Structure 1
Amino acid sequence: MNIFELPFPFETPRQIRRPLRDPYGNAHGDSYTPSRTAATMNLATRSTWPGVKVLRNHEALSMQKLRAILHFSFSPYVVDIREEYPLCSRESYLRAKRRGVSVPESERTICNINLTLVLQPDSRLHYHTVSLGNKPGESNMPSSPRDRREHAMSLERGWTWQKVNGDRFTKKEYGNNLLMSRWISQVNIWKHHDAARVLAARVATRSLRGTLSHVLERHARHMGISVDHAFELFAVAVSFGFLYIDHTEYLRVDMPLILRGGFDE
């Protein structure tokens, strides 16, 4: 599966329930702990960043991973992002489970990102492993020994695997997602699903005259909410697929809002 070929537009369903743990015992959502953290890695580009879909900090061990995490945070298909996720074979997992111990580190491989997706038409949850590459034009097929291990372990679980190159995430998109993520830092966006849909419907059907600030100030006034909350709801709406911004332009509060359209339904 190629996550970038999923059809749009798509809206994240309201009644999505993530399990507490996946079938291999790893926690979901706020309770998940990455296998490696920025504090334990000797990288100048390491960082932690507040989550959008989850109320925990993501561990971005490189700028490339931060760009990917932010991209997937604003994908309506993604309902959970687990970075530095431990993969192992089913045999290793069952053997460790019988013994009541953790899978030995020597039998695990740490993948860059594991995504929990909600897929049409029945809103089923699906796990998708993402391996980040650095070579432009690199094939989506597993090429290195690590790729082949991740690919085999993912397929054995009934999951999918994909190689994604860092140049997939543009500078403008990264900047736009970074800005929106700051508007909803430490906000439980799932509680604002309905309100974000209302704001999105107004934005999509009314004048975009003026700057983004002007647009959201008008809607805040009509909805009886603060301007700050309107900015929160705007970012939530993008994350859930109620609005699609044009990432060929910079998103700025002092510039006009450019929405993306022209989807093939």
Structure 2
Amino acid sequence: MRGRRFKTQTDIDRHIAHGYGQGDGANYKPWLRVQDVPSQGRSRKVQGVKTGRLHEFLSELEFGYFLVLEFSEQVVDIREQFPLFPTEQAIDIAAQLGIRYPRFHGTQLHYVMSTDFMVTLQAPDGSHKLVARTVKYEEAFQPSPDLKHTVEKLELEKAIWHAQGVDDWKLVTENTLGPTLITNLIWLRKGKSLERHLQKLDVQLQFLDALEHYARGERALSSMIRAAATATHVPYPNGVLLFKYLVLQKAIRLDIAHQALTLGGLCPALTIHHGAISAVSQLKAA
């Protein structure tokens, strides 16, 4: 599908009217799509678990950070490629900072900036908070002709969000995340959904009990999963999927940020939380 081109305010208004950059949850439509802009690395579209919609990412780094957000228990909504429309306030902020507000290439039309992630967090008391996250590779901050423009754009983005009451704006790079965490989350995500017979609460609880029994002493992750799968009367491949699913559901808790999860490697120390599965089952039944 052909990417969009903005030459007049009418073009912007038309896409706003079509819902781009609007809504939340399953109804949100990203302002930018993968076909609209050149991407750094491999762009992709990914079905979200929290939102139930298709997400659009312009780089592998964006996808990696998305996995972190999906894994977080605090995150309740993820809106990528979120627009910062060039309001009079935004343009005034740029002037105060001594920054020329960006324009669409070849036009005098003020550019629609975007923040990579607008995230909704839920506090223990149930209240919600919006935070903004911009994702960039470290190489973007190496000396280059574009460095001044990059820094100015980030400075402007942060200031605009602050003026709109979103004080929690942060920059995320590959160093922020770490390769082990992302590799583990990519591996675990293959267990994001289960076949119907593996969704049964008694099967999952039995698997957890077996896992807790066999997770004593040093043994390979594959060996521990195989023993738990045998005790639960499920094939080993299903046991692997169950393990991944239960980690994602926080019923199995372990350090995924620092130790690589490989079937042939040693199983990291883990703790079992049966209540996490019971809570998920109750939500699905509601």
Query: What TM-score do you get using the length of structure 1 for normalisation?
Result: 0.64
Match among 223, 235, 243 for residue 244 of structure 2: 235
Q: List per-residue Cα deviations over 1:99-149 (Å, max 9, x = no partner).
A: xxxxxx8474200111121223x032211100123348x8xxxx8332233
Q: Which residue of 1 aligns with 2:118?
A: 114
RMSD: 4.0
Aligned position for 1:47? 43
Code of the aligned partner of 2:116? N
C-alpha spacing 1:200/1:161, structure 2 compared with 1 (3 Å): farther
Is 1:173–2:181 an aligned residue pair? yes
Listed as ranges, the matches of 1:52-63 within 5 Å are 52-63=49-60
Letter of the 2:258 counterpart: T
Moved more, 76-85 or 220-229: 220-229
Question: Is the 1:78–1:118 contact (alpha carbons within 8 Å) kept by the matching residues of 2?
Answer: yes
Give the Å deviation of 1:92: 7.7
AA aligned opposite 1:164: V
Query: What residue identity is the alignment partner of 1:67?
Result: G
Q: Is 1:211 aligned to residue 184 of structure 2?
A: no
1:144 aligned partner, one-letter code: V
- Partners of 1:35 and 1:205 in 2: how far apart? 46
Which has the bigger relative contact order, CA under 8 A and spacing at least 6?
1
Q: Which residue of 1 aligns with 2:17?
A: none
Q: CA deviation at 1:84?
A: 0.8
2:244 corresponds to which letter in structure 1? A
- Check whether the contact 1:249–1:258 (CA below 8 A) recurs between aligned residues: yes
Partners of 1:116 and 1:127 within 8 A in 2: yes
Q: For 2:160, give the aligned amino acid.
A: M
Q: Which structure has the highest helix share of the two? A: 2
Gaps of 5+ in 2: 1-20, 91-108, 142-149, 272-286
Amino acid at match of 1:170: G
Structure of greater Rg: 2
Moved more, 81-90 or 173-182: 81-90
> Are 1:147 and 2:154 counterparts?
yes
**How many residue pairs align between the two structures?**
218
In 2: Cα distance, 1:228 partner to 1:81 partner: 31
Report how far residue 196 of structure 1 moved. Answer: 11
TM-score norm. by structure 2 comes to: 0.60
Q: Is 1:28 the counterpart of 2:24 in the alignment?
A: yes
Deviations 1:174-219 (A, max 9, x none): 21111111222x679xxx7x88995796478433254334433444
Query: Quick one: structure 1 residues 149 and 32, their matched pair in 2 at CA, closer, same or farther if it must change by over 3 Å?
Result: same
Match of 1:37 in 2: 33
Q: Distance in 2 between matches of 1:130 and 1:200?
A: 37
Partner SS for 1:37: coil
1:163 to 168, 171, 175: 171
Q: Percent of aligned positions with the same letter in both sequences?
A: 20
Measured in 2, the distance between the counterparts of 1:197 and 1:118 equals 27
